[in-house]
Every structure is written in structure tokens, then in C-alpha cells.
């Protein structure tokens, strides 16, 4: 299994549109993603991310399969980053997300002065929870009714990986 992280390119546009119009893919990720997700949305995304090291395309065996990103903290939170990731449905349960989180976490910690990586994940997203656990992220707490999507409140679980010595 070969999982690579790379910059986005124009050839990713058709699959971005396909993946992000699948409600199973978008059910747990941000509502900031337009619905429906169009070619223009994908073109804008690719143009915004091509030069940014905090946004990576996930490639599996030579094919674009998803996205992983980080938002660096600011001010007193400048030693931390929040991760986000998703995969196209047909690529679930193959270890791809686990490997992508491993690679991206290593890269973030090497390239930035970070001591903390964290993810807030919907409590019913058991697959993502397992990805985080396999990458040694630790459950720090539950945020009750932290998000509201499609007429429903969701609890979120806060997972983090803290580097003890820096």
C-alpha cells in the first residue's frame, strides 16, 4: 500500500466533485463545503491549496482519494494545530486515513514548532475515532451538543497528541 501526500492539481477536480457530492463523505465534515459541490468550487479549492503546505491531497496507489489539512493556532495557541481529513467512500476501511494522519502529523511536527495536534470528531464517527487512536491521539474530553447539522445536535470528542519534549 502506497499512501502519499502531495499538493492538489487540476486533475483532482473531477474526483473532488464526485467525492464531495456524496453525503456519506460529507456527513461528518464542515458545512463550509458548498452543496452541491461544483467544478467551480473544486477549481477554487485547487487554486487556493496548490502552494499551501497545510493542505494536502491524499493519494493511494497513484490515485487521488481524499484530503488532509491543518489549521495552525494563533497567538497563545501558536504551538498547536487542528487537523481535518476525509476520504472518498470507496477508499474507506483500507488503512489509508490512518497512514495519511501518520504522515501528515510527522510532517507538521517537523516543519512547525508544534507541541500539540488535535481533532474534534463527531462522537458517532467511529471510523475516524479509530484512525486517531491508531495514531496515538488521546481522548481529552466530550463537547456536548458542540455542532448542529441537518437539524440535529452532535456531541464531539476532542482528541489530541501532545509532544512532551520540544
Annotate the chain with DSSP letters as a single string.
--EEEE---GGGHHHHHHHHT-HHHHTTS-TTS-SSPPHHHHHHHHHHHTT-TTEEEEEETTEEEEEEEEEE--GGGTTEEEEEEEE-GGGTTSSHHHHHHHHHHHHHHHHS--SEEEEEEETT-HHHHHHHHHTT-EEEEEEEEEEEETTEEEEEEEEEEE-S--
pLDDT of residue 99: 98
pLDDT by residue for the chain (166 residues), tens digit each?
799 999 999 999 999 999 999 999 999 998 899 999 999 999 999 999 988 889 999 999 999 999 999 999 999 999 999 999 999 999 999 999 999 999 999 999 889 989 999 999 999 999 999 999 999 999 999 999 999 988 999 999 999 999 886 5
CATH number, domain at 145?
3.40.630.30
Residue 50: the pLDDT is 83
Could you tell me the pTM of the whole model? Answer: 0.94
Per-residue confidence (pLDDT) for residue 19, from 0 to 100:
98
Structural domain boundaries enclosing 117: 3-162
Domain count, the chain: 1
Amino acid at each position: 500500500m502506497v499512501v502519499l501526500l502531495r499538493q492538489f492539481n487540476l486533475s483532482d477536480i473531477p474526483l473532488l466533485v464526485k467525492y464531495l457530492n456524496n453525503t456519506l463523505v460529507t456527513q461528518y465534515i464542515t458545512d463550509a463545503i458548498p452543496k452541491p459541490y461544483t467544478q467551480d468550487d473544486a477549481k477554487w479549492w485547487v487554486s487556493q491549496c496548490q502552494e499551501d503546505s497545510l493542505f494536502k491531497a491524499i493519494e493511494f496507489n497513484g490515485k487521488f482519494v481524499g484530503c488532509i489539512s491543518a489549521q495552525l493556532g494563533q497567538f497563545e495557541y501558536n504551538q498547536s494545530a487542528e487537523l481535518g481529513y476525509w476520504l472518498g467512500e470507496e477508499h474507506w476501511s483500507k488503512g489509508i486515513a490512518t497512514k495519511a494522519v501518520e504522515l501528515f502529523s510527522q510532517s507538521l511536527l517537523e516543519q512547525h514548532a508544534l507541541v500539540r495536534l488535535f481533532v474534534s470528531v463527531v462522537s458517532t464517527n467511529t471510523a475516524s475515532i479509530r484512525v486517531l487512536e491508531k495514531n496515538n491521539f488521546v481522548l481529552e474530553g466530550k463537547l456536548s451538543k458542540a455542532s448542529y447539522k441537518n437539524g440535529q445536535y452532535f456531541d464531539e470528542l476532542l482528541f489530541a497528541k501532545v509532544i512532551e519534549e520540544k
